Structure 1
Amino acid sequence: MIFFFDKSFIIILLINLLYSQCIAENTCFPSGFKIGVASSAYQTEGAWNVSDKGINNWDTFTHGKNQGNSNEDNTGDIASDSYNKYKEDIQIISDIGFDYYRLSLSWARILPNGFANKISEEGVQHYKNVLDELHAKGIEPFVTIYHWDHPDVLDKLGGWTNELMVDYFEDYARIVFQEFGSRVKLWATINEPNINCLSSYSTGVYAPGFKMPGIGPYICVHNMLKAHTRAYEIYDEEFRQINNGKIGIVIAGFYHFSVEENDTESSDVAFQYESGWIAHPIFSKNGDYPPVMKERIGENSKLEGYPRSRLPEFSPDWIQRIKGTSDYFGLNHYSSNLVKSVPKNPITGWINDSGIVSSVDKSWMRAASIWLSVVPKGFRSILNKIKCEYNNPPVFITENGYSGYANESDIQDINRINYFYSYIEEMLLAINVDGCNVHRYTAWSILDSFEWDMEYKERFGIVHVDFNNPNRTRTPRLSASWLGCVLNRRKLISFDEFNANRI
């Protein structure tokens, strides 16, 4: 007996066979899963004094560090020059095949004097041009309202240690929604409040450089959570029905492996003091700060003679308002560390306010950034922690990436490819095996850019930028080609497979 099959049947059969193999190897992305790439305004735009843009906190901070010299080697004055080269950058993103682009807005470019009484027509039009170009290329914009840069005048009022920042951010957010809401369906309010507040108001390595350890960061986060909540409420009440988008917050999170076997407490306490600090008020059943933070910071404050806890207290009304104010859990994850508990000292209290000290395993591979060890299993672990802690919310990976050294000729960036592969592999295990509710993955970053306190010494870009060339020439690295192949196949492929096909 002879059977005849038409061509469409054969194609469907082959697709099903390939998909079955993909499932078995755990290299498949779920249906509808989206992959994007990211940047931020101050790190890439440059054009620091173009048109009527106001001076922002990083302009003042970097110029001050360099004794008033506007040296582009040490500032974001020109950075990657994306303000002028945005069409070229979007074409690169399109050529690689990314589904979306996560970018941020410059507050001082939109509101030059920091307040809502003066809106820059040129600043607004620039971002409309960027968003329109993304849509023209079929790329979804994912817009972060605040990625660490704000008008300098607000720092003269205390920055995020002044509760009035909640009102100023509310005004700014409403204008952003009014101007760009029809073009943007996916928003993030604030990027990494935990990292920003510690670096800006404790260690002082980020703008504005305030050093108020134990007080400044707690006030900063307190105000950022309120500001985030007001922006969410504005969108929910005034714009969601019209624009039908989603809005959330972005939280930085390492995974913390306990040094001692069978010690689950240290890992949990470390998580609560880092990610839970932001996430617990929003995603937990009861809201408010994690109980362990309230207890231990309160105990330390009492020992230190303070009349109240250094950790500010939310009113019952604010606890209820903050709860649930995120349509997704935005997670920036790069690395992991080791943690162990130190018992409370009856005189000095809890070390680091948390009773936790951290370290790294010397066997872990290190990237250029001193804080970035390559620990792929930590990615799966933190996704499972979020799943268990907060009833498996939808998770968007909003940043994940690997830093190289500026003095390397690293166009053939195999280490970065291996990093991406191993981390995405662990993410797929978390999704396909553990049932973690992850919807998006964002590579950091599209371009080499200004890396905050490290300036241009470290490079995260999948596209190399020549900062010695006034044209800021772009050269895609090998990782850009590899990611393009992954996007084209919608399947995770190893470097060896990619390289074999390339040759």
Structure 2
Amino acid sequence: MLGVVTISVVSAEELANKKALAFPEGFLWGAATSHFQVEGHPKEIAHRLSDWALWTAQSGRISDNTTADRACEFYTRYEDDIALIKELNLNAFRLSFNWPALLSDETDGTSVHRALDPVQVQYYRNLLSALKAQGVTTFATLFHFTLPEFLAAAGGWENPMVIEAFEHFSRLCAESFGDLVDYWITINEPLAYAYQSFISGLWPPGKRGEYLSAFTVIRHMLEGHARAYHAIKSVNGASQISYTMHWRPFVPKNRLNPLDYVARFFRDYVFNHLFPEAVQTGVLRFPFPLNYNPFVRKVAGRVDGLINTCDYLAINYYTRELSQFKFIWPLDLFGERSDKAELDTNDMGWEIYPDGLFDLLTRDTLPYQKNGDGSKRPIVITENGYAATFEAELTEGDWSLADQTRISYLTAHLKAIHRAIALGVDVRGYLYWSLLDNFEWAEGLRARFGLVRVTFSTQERILRASARVYGEIARNNAVDPDILLAPSKNTLL
């Protein structure tokens, strides 16, 4: 049983005496969001539909049958939420630009070269300026899973026209917001997007088992990332640009079964290494036997302008995956995810495994931490967080208990990062997912990741205990050892 955490202000001298886990000077402590998950759809932009807005309007698409029509109403409440960021002593914030809403209804001759709506440009400039006024370092994502309706109708990322449209949008955003954005992210979790949209079918366009489509999308996203990178650099050569990867350690379910190691290899390479290796080398490469498929060989190969289009590593990390071999599923990379957890889990069934983050920082990403000139790329953890469900928070007691586990998750992962930094890994910042409870894609409003509890019917915000703990960590730039709690099965602490 986890004890209840008492939050108190501790002086720097007291922390030193306790041998607190001190982080490097200037470390970024922040939180992350994305537009569709928090902004809502006010009347000003409600007519500019995205594929996700259309998707959530269809019955049965979302597990709790909710939509993001209101979400957190961040679009109109962002000033209050920035005040919470300041109250929590955070100095970094990640947002994303609403591609569908930013495009004007007029075009300059072609559907992919739409101008930006000056009203929406001003909204984001006001938002970014308010963050900068509070001394907050800004991270901005260009594609966080939502497509404008007209591009989705044309086939989305399966259609190469989206590459040109994305390049154009990226350049316009760099011109409109570049003076207010510190770190750019071109594409969020490309492999997660390709899998959920074209293999699991849980996200729009809802295709199932279409691996060849997914591989085409990966190719086009690599091209889109490269062209967006160069478009932003053409506006400001000093821009810091990356893409985010949802990294997961893949572990064989049966350590005595060599075939489970085969499944682990395929899934680890495709879901973790395929994209960053391509960015590092400029070549998209598929493992044997996939590379013998004529179609796969067609989408593989060199990508123009791709090599080394990454200025820092942006890492999203939540959990690990147990892999089991299935010979009859070659298109599912000869494996499936085991639903039988070996460790404590969050309420979405994701295992809590901070060791995986340490291994990721000190081993798995080492090939991608080097620039072409041999210098090191810095790293920012752009997402990491714990989900409790709405059902677990129905009573004040359950809410409090769920948050103790969130505190444990947070501090255990921060200890993993601290250990990696002590070994020389250049981690510059940590962005907790998420600042607010929000619309969590196929899970709807049910999955609660927020440091801030949101009652969606009233839009009331309440700082959770985990927010207070994180705020003290940020204020001190150190983790008090008195709050280093760990899940009972965790192997790190």
Q: Is 1:313 the equivalent of 2:309?
A: no
The CA deviation at 1:33 is: 2.0
Deviations 1:32-89 (A, max 9, x none): 321210000000000254257511111111112369xx9x961111111000100001
Contact 1:173 1:231 in 2 (8 A): yes
Q: Is 1:41 the equivalent of 2:62?
A: no
1:452 aligned partner, one-letter code: W
The CA deviation at 1:427 is: 1.5
2:157 aligned partner, one-letter code: W
Distance (whole Å) between structure 2 residues aligned to residue 229 and residue 430 of structure 1: 29
**What is residue 351 of structure 2 aligned with on the other side?**
373
Distance (whole Å) between structure 2 residues aligned to residue 37 and residue 481 of structure 1: 13
SS in 1 for 2:81: helix
The CA deviation at 1:311 is: 5.8
**What is residue 473 of structure 1 aligned with on the other side?**
460
Pick the structure with greater CA Rg: 1
SS in 2 for 1:488: helix
Aligned residue among 351, 361, 364 for 1:383: 361
* C-alpha RMSD of matched pairs (Å): 2.7
1:411 to 1:105, Cα distance in 2 relative to 1, 3 A:
farther
Q: Is 1:355 the equivalent of 2:339?
A: no
Instruction: Give the % identical residues.
Output: 26
The CA deviation at 1:16 is: 8.9
**What is residue 283 of structure 2 aligned with on the other side?**
288
1:495 to 1:455, Cα distance in 2 relative to 1, 3 A:
farther
**What is residue 426 of structure 2 aligned with on the other side?**
437
SS in 2 for 1:206: coil
**What is residue 236 of structure 2 aligned with on the other side?**
240
The CA deviation at 1:330 is: 1.0
Query: Structure 1, unaligned stretches of length 5 or more?
Result: 1-13, 302-307, 499-503
Q: Is 1:77 the equivalent of 2:72?
A: no
SS in 2 for 1:322: coil
**What is residue 103 of structure 2 aligned with on the other side?**
111
1:29 to 1:391, Cα distance in 2 relative to 1, 3 A:
same
Structure 1 length as normaliser, TM-score?
0.83
Contact 1:219 1:312 in 2 (8 A): no
Aligned residue among 448, 461, 475 for 1:488: 475
1:64 to 1:311, Cα distance in 2 relative to 1, 3 A:
farther
Aligned residue among 294, 298, 304 for 2:291: 298
Deviation larger for 436-445 or 355-364: 355-364
SS in 2 for 1:168: helix
Distance (whole Å) between structure 2 residues aligned to residue 92 and residue 411 of structure 1: 20
The CA deviation at 1:269 is: 3.8
Deviations 1:440-494 (A, max 9, x none): 111000000101111011110010110122xx11111111000011011111124
**What is residue 247 of structure 2 aligned with on the other side?**
253
Deviation larger for 265-274 or 151-160: 265-274
Distance (whole Å) between structure 2 residues aligned to residue 351 and residue 265 of structure 1: 11
Aligned residues: 454
SS in 2 for 1:142: strand
Deviation larger for 206-215 or 329-338: 206-215
Matches within 5 A, 1:13-162: 22=19, 27-51=21-45, 54-65=48-59, 74-113=66-105, 115-162=112-159
Distance (whole Å) between structure 1 residues aligned to residue 209 and residue 181 of structure 2: 37
1:360 to 1:51, Cα distance in 2 relative to 1, 3 A:
closer
**What is residue 274 of structure 2 aligned with on the other side?**
277
**What is residue 442 of structure 2 aligned with on the other side?**
453
The CA deviation at 1:360 is: 5.9
**What is residue 488 of structure 2 aligned with on the other side?**
none
Contact 1:53 1:110 in 2 (8 A): no
The CA deviation at 1:321 is: 1.8
1:360 to 1:256, Cα distance in 2 relative to 1, 3 A:
farther
Contact 2:186 2:225 in 1 (8 A): yes
The CA deviation at 1:222 is: 1.1
The structure showing larger relative contact order (alpha-carbon pairs under 8 Å, at least 6 residues apart) is 2
1:494 to 1:49, Cα distance in 2 relative to 1, 3 A:
farther
2:334 aligned partner, one-letter code: G
**What is residue 223 of structure 2 aligned with on the other side?**
226
**What is residue 164 of structure 1 aligned with on the other side?**
161
1:455 aligned partner, one-letter code: G
1:47 to 1:313, Cα distance in 2 relative to 1, 3 A:
closer
The CA deviation at 1:30 is: 2.1
Deviations 1:188-208 (A, max 9, x none): 001001001111122221123
Contact 1:421 1:494 in 2 (8 A): no
Distance (whole Å) between structure 1 residues aligned to residue 404 and residue 461 of structure 2: 19
1:137 to 1:89, Cα distance in 2 relative to 1, 3 A:
same
Aligned residue among 312, 316, 335 for 1:328: 312
SS in 2 for 1:461: coil
1:297 to 1:108, Cα distance in 2 relative to 1, 3 A:
same
Deviation larger for 198-207 or 224-233: 198-207
Deviations 1:188-236 (A, max 9, x none): 0010010011111222211232335212211111111111100101122
Matches within 5 A, 1:163-202: 163-202=160-199
Q: Is 1:415 the equivalent of 2:405?
A: yes
Structure 2 length as normaliser, TM-score?
0.85
